[in-house]
Structure 1
Amino acid sequence: MNNLEDFLNWHYSRIWPRLTDHFFNLVLFSYYFSGIPHHLPNLLAPWKRIRAVKGRGFQLSNYASVVGFNLTSRFMGFFLRLTAIFTGLTMMLLLPFLYLPVLIGWLLLPFVSLPFYVSRKKNFNEETAEIMQALGNGQYLKKFCLSQTGRFCLIRLGLDPGSIIAKLPPFSILPMTTPDNAENLYNQIYENLSFLPEISANKISKDDFFTCLNWYRRLESLTLRPLLEDKKRIRALPGIGIDWSYGYTVELDKYAHDLTAEPTPFPFLLGRDAEIKKMERALLKSENKNVMLIGVPGIARHMLVETLARHLYLGMSEKELSHKRIMKVDMHALCSDKKNLQEIKAVFSQIYEESEKAGNIILFIDDFDKYASEGEGRLNLTDVIEKFARSSIGLIGLTTPDDYHQFLEKNSLLGGLFEEIFLLAPDLKTVITELEISIVPVLERRYNTVISLAAVKKTVEDADRYLTATPFPGKAIELLENAIIASNRNKFIRSDDIDKYLTEKLKIPIGKLLEGEKEKLANLEDYLHRRIINQQMAIRMIASALRRARMNVSSSEKPIGSFLFLGPTGVGKTETAKALSSVYYGGEDKMLRFDMSQYQGEEGMARLIGSSAGQKAGELTTKLSVNPFSLLLFDEIEKAPKEIQHLFLTLLDEGYLHDASGKKIDCRQTIIIATSNAGSEYIREQVAAEASPQKLQDQIVDHVLREKIFSPEFLNRFDGTVVFTPLSQGHLRQVARLMLENLNSRIAQKAIRVNPSDELVNYLASTGNSREFGARAMRRTIETTLEDYIAKRLLDGKLKEGSQITVDPNLLTDY
């Protein structure tokens, strides 16, 4: 009985009013489709605005020719428009008449519609009502899992609806309540599903569940209604022959394409309503109807213009903008096609005349600054562009903040002619919603896949943390699409796919720990000690910082770790930095090294962060922009001027710095190490006095503060100040063995190996050590004696490839 009532209610209460609307809207459709409201006021207008203009002086033949041509143009326009009007009036009578049997049949023969009722796609409210009805027999969980709403939510949460249904307990043991609204119903559904192991295993929270539920409802609400049920869309129809009232643009069409005729691949741009309204208001002005969009690449600048074009096409903009065409000019093609500036300006002048006569053109020029300024790779067309900007043609320009301030802001000819709109990156919540309703549906169709909620959230989280060079939403869209491609187009995209792609791209560990990485992190000190001798405190502090960063325990708003290494030359400070770069970033080439003794005065600051006056890029800021995942090594930090040390305060404390132009450089994925020889003699004295490691640490810090080598503010910004102690003879012998192993790895390609005998090790430890250079002297000893000895033995043939040699230290004394 309920099913019959539901069917009759659907047939008469829901569909019958819609069909009635169709009947009356067919009249409206015919009226606008035939262009009647446009053709009537333009009935006597010239065809395509083609008119002949009389020249100077009076000649009867010329006058008659002009009049005859214009009358012919108007007659053509009149005849065609009248034909369209007559066609529209005929449709207004005929179409409703043809539709009338449908109305009568639907009214009198309800059961004819039964197949449509059974096969219809139910909306959210219908499905919710059916789930409510299933409360009586305890089958509401199964009903939810089988519904479109339920399937969407479960699949996006990474669950298989069929598997969930199979694991549902008998209805008799399920807790039963009667919710009074949809929210309480779905709360109860989640509470009952949360007992299943799949929910806890996937760590699905109630927020996740309702996020998917709202995601489904938003997608449903954005579905376009049928044309005959949307009066606004009917009124926005282009209509037959609308272009008859606008002029030809032959030359423009060679170098531009119509954005209003091309549907944007991502139809819904969120959080930009204010900017779109501001663009519309500017384009509706009586003069200076121009817009300059100013934003960095990746902030959806082009998508904003495409969204405006879509609004024009769908009639979602002001009526006065109806039938406007946004033409994107391919400036590269236009300029490449001509030999010189004079020819380019001639084409532009022709485009200007066509656009002015056409009456419905809005020009869009990308990289606008390149065509309104002087310089390498630039073309100054300011005088021609000024004509466009002062005309009735709408003009939209696109540029970056840097290029705007450098090239356009002070342009005297164009100043005041453009409505400037600065574009800022959207917040993370808006980005997630935009991915859900605009980007994900497109990518799912394009790659035949399903994208989980966890993947969407992970995309935004990782893009925010690791992809700092470009803004939202562009970096999130690019990351998600690239992860789909890298996953070999899996049928289902999880958060792990995002982490896996970024790990391969950035060469740093992201996401879940693999078994080998767990072992490596747990025993990080041992891995570092394979290269670093002694310095237990330094290794312990560094390993602790790396573990906290990898497990996302430390602050994500600061660098991964920052350390000040104090100690004499040659005790392992730089070698520790190299080892750390290899362990965390995958290679010593990821270490960016700066000798601070070379950055003195104002010139030193300019070399680091650039000079706005000379448009000179900074060495530090440039390298960080290109390699944001790097270890920064600042050698001899005590020699850096106070201004540079002050610059580093923000870098150490907040994880960013600004270049000379004000651009923010993200440094949150860096490890920062500063080294200093300050207090070396004092360290030797305290070591000789057998001070304990912790006492030595405290005394050295007090010493550098007392001597005012560093300020307290500077020292406190580091995660740790580490004292490196001089190496004992035993430590030097260990260093010698490490260096011999490195030498053997270098000459392994010749199948030669040097035996690290005790005699050779003792020789290197004793002769390769100096108070001034520490163990660095040992490296030079090996290069100048042992390596030279091997090279000569290879040249004179006394040493063959494949040999293992034991070197007598006495033979090295002559080298």
Structure 2
Amino acid sequence: MEIFKYYALCWKLQQGVVCGHLVGSHYQVVSKNAKKIVTVLTSQLHRDLEKNPYDAEPRIHKARLKVLPVEVRSGYKEKDGMYPTTSKMKITIAAVYGENSQGFYECFMPFLNESFFFYNIDQVNNLIEHFSKNIFQSLTPEELHRYIMPSKPWLEDFSVRNKGSKKISSFFSPEKEAPVLSKIAEKFPRSRNAQKNAHIFPEVAWEQSDIVDKIVGKIVNEQANLIVVGNRGVGKSAILQEAMRKVFQKERDKNPYEKRRRYFWRTSPNRITSGAKYLGDWEDICENVLDDLQRIRGVLWLVNFMEMFTVGGQGAEDSIAAYMSSYLRDRRIQIITELTPHELDRAQTLLPSFIQYFQIVHIEEMSRSKILKVLQNFQNYTEDKLNINVEQPTLELIYRLLQRFVKYESFPGKAVVFLSQCLNNLFISDKSTLNNNDVIDAFIDKTGMPKLFLDDDIIINQKDLHSFFSSRIIGQADAIKKICRVIKVFKTGLNDPQKPIATMMFSGPTGVGKTASVRALAEYFFGHGQKKHPLIRLDMSEFQHPAQISRLIGEGKEIGKLTREVRERPFSVVLFDEIEKAHPAIFDTLLTVLDEGILVDHYGRVCDFRNTIIIMTSNLGAKSSTAAGFNPQKVLEYEASIRKFFRPEFFNRLDMVVTFLPLDKSAIQKIIYKELEEISLRDGIKNNNLRLKFSPSIIDLLLKEGFDELYGARPLQRAIEKFVVSELAKYIMQNHPSSAELHIDYQQQISIEERK
């Protein structure tokens, strides 16, 4: 009769009351003492071992308790972001860790409902601190107090006799029979306890039963290698997991005492070869992994499938895909994976002989009625399991917003993910009903777009719109008019949904407000909720050679600067600064971006620009005319220079050319007042409660020193720093003023007078 050793983490709740948590499970018991807790857990484990001995085995052996204080800086949540507090809190973390049956370590943090695997015992402290800080960093002080342990915890160990040990002694252990595979892949389906602790929301392929059954038949009856193809978010992963669970359940129901039960092993090509130290090692590792799969009848579930063509040798012909081809041809292994249509096209181009060993199952996006049914099923689940109600109009609003604005993903995935985020926000705010306002607030956080664009009942106030840009863009009335036109078209939903929101060329001499206008547009369009600033700026003078295209869009394993930024911030303004300095090959690369709103790299990875505004700045035509003032003829000269420089197919893809003309002295004077007002917002002024007053002579000095017909307002910043900021800094350092009004004057030299 076999004996298993288990561990329970215990702590006192109050006098005479003890709580115990069975390590590696969801079981918690509250009783008068630890002895009673052990008795209850022992009884439960006896029942579990009889039902399913394999899943009820202990998760770790020789467990140890680590009690570690973690220093955390909490913060307060506001609509425009998270503001950290000045002080830090110390939260004590209780973690239990030990070696698992697969030969590496596993750590559980019951108070945080978190667990992780690791390989080096010396890293346990750093990993505990890392995982706990990831949870704590977005919490307020009130929320952090929930994680303060009521008392010092301790570890109780106890043994349970397995009455069904005769059955389990002959039970198949894939980890022991496949030692190499088990180190680089996770077994699926997971144990019941792991499934319960993994996700708060269900992993279910609603409304996809026909496709699931089709995949099950191909895996079981045809023993086929399978590629599930569909756009991002269409439900490929959920369908595959549902099919794998069905395959496992079907085999278990057919013969519950079968030793060699089929499991699926999830890994990636990079993980398979990660242990290779020397050239040629990866082939030996692959051979061992594939041998393990054959021995246990395992199915390889590959993620990041396109790595198959980049991992191993220098190209697809000597990659891990080429190495595995003979195994697939001889049907010695079985592989399942998923790809997007673009990735499949690229894979067939890179190594067609490899792809021919797979059967392709295409998954199309659901109809509107099916999508709403999926959301309704999700709503029923949350109401039943989580006691959260989602109103029907709210589900329809989610569908409408995602349908219009989130084009880079498909339904139902993007709806389920977004709804999950909304429900997580409800947990934090202790609400029980999700309504339209909650959804709009969450969508603002996701996209940064103002409520004006999301709520059809809100009408644009044209006076406020014009005022917003006029306060930020000085002396460029025509540019403001064209920028406002873009906003009006987008608000009415008349922009082309299959292209970027707008593609514009800002032309004109340096220092006239082109970059300031781009910043203002980014702030208005996407600056209301995102954590990162929504402006992506690329200096095109860095891309003057055709070989530098790879730095822009990526090549092989490397992701380009442009594609990385847009994937992180799909709702943004992309600025190609001084576009004419880039190599002409860059312009050809951007043609599909301007025309179709997408960019596909060498390995089929898609970057979506349809939620971006693309702006290019150029000084073309500026040298021929530098005089101040507005002249329609100058506008034509700028446009003519741009037309002459760029090829017609590139120029014709621009929605508009916005010409910025040289600034006159009155415009520079307005900019001076604006810049001086912004000095009052700096920390050194605000923290000392100072008010600034500037004499007319200071304005005249800055106008004289900061205005240049050739460089526009560029010298102005230097003049303000030299004559105002540096003099203020000297005065504050010497006199330490507080709660006072400082009068700054200029008579032969700068003078500052303090008035209470």
TM-score range, shorter chain: 0.5 to 0.7
Q: 2:419 aligns with which of 459, 477, 480?
A: 480
Q: 1:304 aligns with which of 212, 228, 239?
A: 239
Which residue identity lines up with residue 409 of structure 1 in the other structure?
Answer: A
Quote the RMSD (CA, aligned, Å): 4.0
Q: 2:289 aligns with which of 385, 388, 406?
A: 385
Q: Secondary structure at the match of 2:472?
A: coil
Q: 2:214 aligns with which of 277, 285, 307?
A: 277
Distance (whole Å) between structure 1 residues aligned to residue 587 and residue 725 of structure 2 = 41
CA deviation profile, 1:88-126 (whole Å, cap 9, x unmatched): xxxxxxxxxxxxxxxxxxxxxxxxxxxxxxxxxxxxxxx
More helix by share: 1
After superposition, the Cα gap between the structure-2 partners of 1:736 and 1:548, relative to the gap in structure 1 and judged at 3 Å, is same
Q: Secondary structure at the match of 1:806?
A: strand
Which residue identity lines up with residue 651 of structure 2 in the other structure?
Answer: L
Matches within 5 A, 1:564-713: 564-586=505-527, 589-612=533-556, 615-684=557-626, 691-692=631-632, 695-705=633-643, 708-713=644-649
CA deviation profile, 1:434-473 (whole Å, cap 9, x unmatched): 5156434323322334444543343344335545665543
Q: Does the 8 Å contact 2:171/2:259 carry over to 1?
A: no
Matches within 5 A, 1:238-387: 248-250=171-173, 252=175, 265=202, 268-271=205-208, 273-274=210-211, 276-285=213-222, 300-308=235-243, 311-312=246-247, 323=254, 358=258, 360-374=260-274, 381-387=285-291
The answer to whether structure 1 residue 409 and structure 2 residue 321 are counterparts is yes
Distance (whole Å) between structure 1 residues aligned to residue 599 and residue 727 of structure 2 = 49
Tell me how many residue pairs correspond in the alignment: 527
Q: Does the 8 Å contact 2:235/2:412 carry over to 1?
A: yes
Q: Secondary structure at the match of 2:635?
A: helix
Distance (whole Å) between structure 2 residues aligned to residue 765 and residue 623 of structure 1 = 38
Report the counterpart of residue 537 of structure 1 in structure 2: 478
Q: Aligned-pair distance for 1:776?
A: 0.9
Matches within 5 A, 1:87-486: 248-250=171-173, 252=175, 265=202, 268-271=205-208, 273-274=210-211, 276-285=213-222, 300-308=235-243, 311-312=246-247, 323=254, 358=258, 360-374=260-274, 381-390=285-294, 393-407=297-311, 408-412=320-324, 414-416=327-329, 417-418=333-334, 420=336, 422=338, 426-429=364-367, 432=371, 435-436=374-375, 438-467=377-406, 472-486=411-425
Q: Secondary structure at the match of 1:672?
A: strand
Distance (whole Å) between structure 1 residues aligned to residue 585 and residue 599 of structure 2 = 13
Distance (whole Å) between structure 2 residues aligned to residue 604 and residue 728 of structure 1 = 39
Distance (whole Å) between structure 2 residues aligned to residue 384 and residue 366 of structure 1 = 16
Distance (whole Å) between structure 2 residues aligned to residue 401 and residue 251 of structure 1 = 24
Q: 1:756 aligns with which of 694, 706, 713?
A: 694
Q: Aligned-pair distance for 1:680?
A: 0.8
Q: Does the 8 Å contact 1:564/1:673 carry over to 2?
A: yes
Which residue identity lines up with residue 304 of structure 1 in the other structure?
Answer: I
After superposition, the Cα gap between the structure-2 partners of 1:653 and 1:296, relative to the gap in structure 1 and judged at 3 Å, is closer
Q: Give the structure with higher Rg (CA).
A: 1
The answer to whether structure 1 residue 739 and structure 2 residue 651 are counterparts is no
Q: Aligned-pair distance for 1:358?
A: 4.2
Q: Aligned-pair distance for 1:715?
A: 2.5
Q: Aligned-pair distance for 1:699?
A: 3.9
Q: Aligned-pair distance for 1:524?
A: 1.2
Q: Aligned-pair distance for 1:266?
A: 5.3
Report the counterpart of residue 51 of structure 1 in structure 2: none
Q: Secondary structure at the match of 2:680?
A: helix
Q: TM-score, normalised by structure 2?
A: 0.61
Which residue identity lines up with residue 334 of structure 2 in the other structure?
Answer: F
CA deviation profile, 1:307-359 (whole Å, cap 9, x unmatched): 235645886xxxx895268xxxxxxxxxxxxxxxxxxxxxxxxxxxxxxx945
Q: Aligned-pair distance for 1:545?
A: 0.9
Q: Secondary structure at the match of 1:366?
A: strand
CA deviation profile, 1:737-794 (whole Å, cap 9, x unmatched): 1111112222333333332332211221122112332111011111122212222222
Q: Does the 8 Å contact 1:609/1:620 carry over to 2?
A: yes
Q: Secondary structure at the match of 1:409?
A: helix
Q: 1:787 aligns with which of 725, 730, 737?
A: 725
Q: Does the 8 Å contact 1:295/1:401 carry over to 2?
A: no
Q: TM-score, normalised by structure 1?
A: 0.57
Distance (whole Å) between structure 1 residues aligned to residue 489 and residue 549 of structure 2 = 33
Q: Aligned-pair distance for 1:678?
A: 0.7
Report the counterpart of residue 330 of structure 1 in structure 2: none
After superposition, the Cα gap between the structure-2 partners of 1:716 and 1:798, relative to the gap in structure 1 and judged at 3 Å, is same
Q: Does the 8 Å contact 2:508/2:659 carry over to 1?
A: yes
Distance (whole Å) between structure 1 residues aligned to residue 440 and residue 388 of structure 2 = 18
Q: Does the 8 Å contact 2:252/2:261 carry over to 1?
A: no
Q: 1:802 aligns with which of 736, 740, 743?
A: 740
Structure 1 unaligned runs (5+)?
1-240, 326-356
Q: Does the 8 Å contact 2:554/2:601 carry over to 1?
A: yes
Which residue identity lines up with residue 734 of structure 1 in the other structure?
Answer: K
Which residue identity lines up with residue 591 of structure 1 in the other structure?
Answer: L
Q: Aligned-pair distance for 1:520?
A: 5.7
Which residue identity lines up with residue 662 of structure 1 in the other structure?
Answer: G
After alignment, is 272-281 or 802-811 more displaced? 272-281
Q: Secondary structure at the match of 2:171?
A: coil
Distance (whole Å) between structure 2 residues aligned to residue 575 and residue 472 of structure 1 = 37
Q: Aligned-pair distance for 1:799?
A: 6.2
Report the counterpart of residue 775 of structure 1 in structure 2: 713
CA deviation profile, 1:220-239 (whole Å, cap 9, x unmatched): xxxxxxxxxxxxxxxxxxxx
Distance (whole Å) between structure 2 residues aligned to residue 571 and residue 700 of structure 1 = 14
Distance (whole Å) between structure 1 residues aligned to residue 617 and residue 379 of structure 2 = 48
Report the counterpart of residue 666 of structure 2 in structure 1: 730
Q: Does the 8 Å contact 1:289/1:394 carry over to 2?
A: no
After superposition, the Cα gap between the structure-2 partners of 1:674 and 1:284, relative to the gap in structure 1 and judged at 3 Å, is same
Report the counterpart of residue 766 of structure 1 in structure 2: 704
Distance (whole Å) between structure 2 residues aligned to residue 283 and residue 310 of structure 1 = 12
CA deviation profile, 1:636-673 (whole Å, cap 9, x unmatched): 11112211112222222322222343311111222222
Q: Aligned-pair distance for 1:567?
A: 0.8
Distance (whole Å) between structure 1 residues aligned to residue 458 and residue 732 of structure 2 = 42
Q: Secondary structure at the match of 1:750?
A: coil
Distance (whole Å) between structure 2 residues aligned to residue 464 and residue 393 of structure 1 = 43
Q: Does the 8 Å contact 1:568/1:726 carry over to 2?
A: yes
Q: 2:446 aligns with which of 505, 510, 525?
A: 505
More strand by share: 2
Identity between Structure 1 and Structure 2 (%): 23
Q: Does the 8 Å contact 1:449/1:489 carry over to 2?
A: no
Q: Does the 8 Å contact 2:215/2:243 carry over to 1?
A: no
After alignment, is 252-261 or 665-674 more displaced? 252-261
Q: Secondary structure at the match of 1:807?
A: strand
After alignment, is 473-482 or 728-737 more displaced? 473-482
Which residue identity lines up with residue 739 of structure 1 in the other structure?
Answer: E
